[in-house]
Structure 1
Amino acid sequence: MAPSHHHKLKMLEQWRISPLPGSATLPCSLPSTYFDLLFYCFHPVQRLLFYESANLETELPKLKHSLSLALRYYYPLAGSLTRDSEVQKPELLCSQSDFVSLTVAVSRDDFYQLSGDHARDMARFHPLVPPLPASSGRQPVFAVQVTVFADAGVAIGTTVHHAVADGSSYTNFMKLWSSIHRLGELPAISTGLLPFLDRSVVHDPAGLRSIFLKDLQSLRGDPSLNAWDLTGVPDVQLATFAFSRDILDKLRRRATCKRKTAAQASPYALACGLVWAGLVRARGDSNRKKEHFGFVTGCRPRTNPPIPSNYFGNCLGICRVEAERSELVGDDGAAAATDAIWKVIKSLEEDAFRGAENWIRDVHDYAAKKALTVAGSPKLGIYEVDFGWGRPRKVELVSIERTGALALTETRGEKGGIEVGLALPKHEMEGFLSYFVNSLYNL
């Protein structure tokens, strides 16, 4: 059994941070759109941003104030979701008494080990991300924890309910908060970071909201999503695998030799293709004939008319990829996986909403099949979240332990690269690492 690291954390203080009062009158609720309903039953998204050399004694009062000011604009993050057992009127409720829980803790764990790329015990990360406890029929949607590591740095842990914000909305909030903290109360920030909150821009000509509400109701109690959850599995590890621009170029050349259609494959498809093929091998489930891969696509520019890029909420479509297992475990497995993913990406140019009425059922189906999925995106620019302490040393998406996803970010030191985070049982991690090293050696 993995050693417990919980004793290395000491909680110091907890505050309720309310949005700084503004002149605007807040709406009492924001209705959940069909995009939000897709993620209604998902595990909250938990991220950790590690920063070196931040002095929290002087920074903490500023952190609290800058968070309060950022929440003036992103006040729905201080609100709560209705916990309607019938799932008939899901909405985000807002009031003048709303707040976000901010916890400060001290850890005696090793900052530099935790913020490395090598395989680390997943249990060490659990105490660093805050919970979202529900009370009296209301579900808080956002919480923050700042953990201090003596003489090393801090980790800012956030937990956000996925039915409230996608990665784009979350990252815009974090960039705004960090900009306010770094530059002062009235920074010369891009208005693109300020949220567009009008839900009426999400048109629903196909009646997807009604369809999704019915599906959520009929799937109540369905255990499929739990198939991804590794909680309780012994020796789960978290590790990061970097794809430099040079490696991605070599992967493209190799894939093009095997599959002509892969010549135009995006870096996203190339990285995901190699990871998918490697995980299929590492898991070694030879009884499966088909393997499945799922990802989301940003729909803000794909709707008619387009939804503003700073729209706050979810605006993602579901994409499914299927391949023969025999192809993925063959000598050209990475090329076959890349080709299958790229074909689906290309099909989005025609219609990103084809089959959208099945999206909720698709998610449950893919979870039951333990499909590999994707969380995050290198396009989000999460390493640009700078509180004045420099760029993060490392960003980890801790919740992939619960959601069966690989985590994508941009690389830290080089433009055009991709980092992939994986949470796997130790034996699968060892198998994947061997595949990854050999694949790069043979490029």
Structure 2
Amino acid sequence: MAPEALHNMTALEQRQVSPLPSPSGTKPRALPLTFFDLVFWDIPPVQRLFFYDNADVPGVPEFLLHELPRFEKSLAMALHHFYPLAGKLSCGSITPESAAPELVFSDGDSVRLTVAAGAGDEFHDLAGDHARDTARLRPLLPRLTRDGVRLQDVFAVQITVFPHAGMCIGTTLHHAVADGSSYLHFMKTWAAIHRLGGPGCSLEAVPVMGAAPLFDRSVVQDEDGLREEFLRDHADKRLLLEDDREPGSAELATFRFTDELLLRLGRKVESETSARRCSSYALACGAVWAGIMRARGGGSTRFGFVTGCRPRTSPPVPGNYFGNCLGLCRVEDDVQELSCGGGGGVITAAAMAAAAIWRAIEGLAEEGRVFRGARGWVRLVREYACAGAGAVTVAGSPKLGVYAATDLGAPWGRPRKVEIVSVERTGALALAENGPDTDGGGIEVGVALPRAEMEAFRAFYVDLVANLQY
């Protein structure tokens, strides 16, 4: 196909990558969506960027000749194990008359791989922590396509090469297909196949890494009839594609919390609230939540997060299960100090927010607690999961270990930066472990805000870090 200009980038070509080899005939071809999957049916796709720096990356012709075939083949071999990602969702909307949605794979199905080129001198700026207009990052992301009215792709990949600077791998995933754990299982497999199948080694000889994904939907028990209730909640609601909700103007920036910084904030939580301790997750989320509310000038103080349900179900869902298995939680405390009208300083605001989140997390320890409000999950997602809703939610998790999981081996290594760009549409915080170039461990948080709010949030963050030094 003819090259197409994309801002400062050029789309070179598109390829269709099918599982290699094709999955055996004994593998299930149709996977019904469970109630866990239906929770995320009509929210924007999850879009991630993986930046790999490499000053020795060749020019575009050399990359296409020598590097791209290896990426394409390792992707095809990873899809052999995760073949539903090459399939399609079987209906475009849920109505009382329509069949229940399924993820369907047919022989010959494939994942669209877009290949693009960017200017080498822009790579390090795009992969930085500083605030960048999200409009500059969108061209690095592939789009999902719809085949007619009733079929939709669920996964797409884009590789953008920046000559003499690095490479970016962008992925777009329909959230109804997989949660972060299943997605990282796939990405870890792809990276391992690519890493171990280096020069002089046949990719076919690379062993399967870890437990093979489990597609058996019977392991998800639904004694309370949540699936049927969620289907009714979705009835007459059209499937929301990424094109249907164009984001407004926003900037994306990364803010880092080292282990030492979180330890000091934890001590403040213990001294200023009734909480005896807080997890690093609650501390980082609380600090950012408080900063966003201050930046917005008060207003809603709603906070929502997800929790892994594989070990919480009865019987437990195996860890290698492929799909969604997340519960929804929200903080219902009236945290007055989060608003600009609160009398406390930045440390008090962060401490109160962190303590509120930690109380909600501690409450999950009670058996069955996470499922008590499950009948309202679809409505809760619609209420919380868009940038204009005023709520703050969470995407990703430091526990996923995204940097280590996506190590491609020589000459790329681990990504220097991972971004969840789709938070500009959902208003979520993008959490991960701090990247490999960061000293002191800890957590990094990606935040997407309008420019004025970003400047106010940055001032809050700088003030918080400065006050925690004493």
Q: Structure 1 residues 415 and 212 mapped into 2: Cα distance closer, same or farther (>3 Å)?
A: farther
What residue in structure 1 maps to residue 192 of structure 2? 179
State which of 49, 52, 74 in structure 1 corresponds to 2:82: 74
Q: Structure 1 residues 97 and 163 mapped into 2: Cα distance closer, same or farther (>3 Å)?
A: same
**Deviation at residue 378 of structure 1 after TM alignment:** 0.5
What residue in structure 2 maps to residue 352 of structure 1? 370
Distance 2:393 2:176 in 1: 18
- Unaligned stretches of 5+ residues in structure 1: none
Could you state the TM-score of these two structures normalised by the residue count of structure 1? 0.92
State which of 369, 384, 394 in structure 2 corresponds to 1:374: 394
Distance 2:207 2:273 in 1: 48
**Deviation at residue 364 of structure 1 after TM alignment:** 2.0
Distance 2:23 2:359 in 1: 49
State which of 167, 183, 196 in structure 1 corresponds to 2:214: 196
1:166 aligns with 2:179: yes
What residue in structure 2 maps to residue 58 of structure 1? 66
Counterparts of 1:297-316 in structure 2, within 5 Å, are 297-316=307-326
Could you state the TM-score of these two structures normalised by the residue count of structure 2? 0.87
Distance 1:295 1:325 in 2: 16
Residue 365 of structure 1 aligns to a residue in which SS?
helix
Which one is further off, 391-400 or 413-422?
413-422
1:106 aligns with 2:117: yes
Contact 1:230 1:401 in 2 (8 A): no
Residue identity matched to 2:67: E
User: Residue by residue, what CA displacement relative to the aligned partner does 1:97-129 show, whole Å, maximum 9, x if unpaired?
Assistant: 200000110012600001110111111001000
Residue identity matched to 1:151: H
1:241 aligns with 2:255: yes
Residue 321 of structure 2 aligns to a residue in which SS?
coil
What residue in structure 1 maps to residue 200 of structure 2? none
Residue 182 of structure 2 aligns to a residue in which SS?
helix
Contact 2:23 2:83 in 1 (8 A): no
Q: Structure 1 residues 105 and 23 mapped into 2: Cα distance closer, same or farther (>3 Å)?
A: closer
What residue in structure 2 maps to residue 430 of structure 1? 455
What residue in structure 2 maps to residue 31 of structure 1? 32
Distance 1:139 1:248 in 2: 43
User: Residue by residue, what CA displacement relative to the aligned partner does 1:300-355 show, whole Å, maximum 9, x if unpaired?
Assistant: 11111111111100010000113335222332111111111111111111122111
Distance 1:45 1:379 in 2: 18
Distance 2:71 2:392 in 1: 37
Contact 2:118 2:160 in 1 (8 A): yes
Residue 59 of structure 1 aligns to a residue in which SS?
helix
**Deviation at residue 32 of structure 1 after TM alignment:** 0.3
Contact 1:282 1:432 in 2 (8 A): yes
Distance 2:247 2:352 in 1: 31
Contact 1:88 1:213 in 2 (8 A): no
Residue identity matched to 1:312: F
Distance 1:415 1:307 in 2: 34
- Unaligned stretches of 5+ residues in structure 2: 198-202
**Deviation at residue 11 of structure 1 after TM alignment:** 1.1
Residue 200 of structure 1 aligns to a residue in which SS?
helix
Contact 1:323 1:337 in 2 (8 A): no
Identity %, equivalent residues? 54
Distance 2:423 2:68 in 1: 29
User: Residue by residue, what CA displacement relative to the aligned partner does 1:132-165 show, whole Å, maximum 9, x if unpaired?
Assistant: 0112121000000000111101000000100001
Distance 1:354 1:105 in 2: 47
